Amino acid sequence: MLFGQEHVKRYIETAGEEGHEWEGTTTAILTTKGRKSGQPRSTPLIYQAYGDGYLVVASKGGADEHPLWYLNLQADPEVEFQIKGDRFRARTRTATAKERPDMWRTMTAAWPAYDEYATKTSREIPIVVIERA
């Protein structure tokens, strides 16, 4: 099973032929700029198309702190996003309270464990909207 940086490496090398389909869902590669280092940081994330954009969830498996990639995009919302062989510049934002319920349903349909993750933490797990730049 691909995971972590090996997942990123194989996904990029094969234009998503290896790694896009993962554990019964689909993944993309999100590349943020490290808020301290300024270096690119790539992370494989479950995603879903939504309207004209895409959604990812900053769950960190239900941990009480946000994942580092989410902190990075809060500091700089300009990212690169790769779905299979399509790598593009994008802008990110956190879903609003009004948008969130429908977006959460979309993401839990793709990965039901998000509902379980939400019970493990007191923080509201952010949903990130990714829109092509």
CA atoms within 13 A on the CB side of 86: 5
Domain range enclosing 103 = 4-132
Q: How many CB atoms lie within 10 A of CB 37?
A: 9
The neighbour count for residue 90, using CB atoms within 10 Å, is 21
CB 133 within 8 A of CB 88: yes
10 with 19: CB under 8 angstroms?
yes
Q: What is the pLDDT along the chain (133 residues), one digit of tens a residue?
A: 557 889 999 999 999 999 999 999 999 999 999 999 999 999 999 999 999 999 999 999 999 999 999 999 999 999 999 999 999 999 999 999 999 999 999 999 999 999 999 999 999 999 999 999 9
Give the chain's domain count: 1
Q: What is the CATH number of the domain that holds 27?
A: 2.30.110.10
In contact, 77 and 133? CB cutoff 8 Å: no
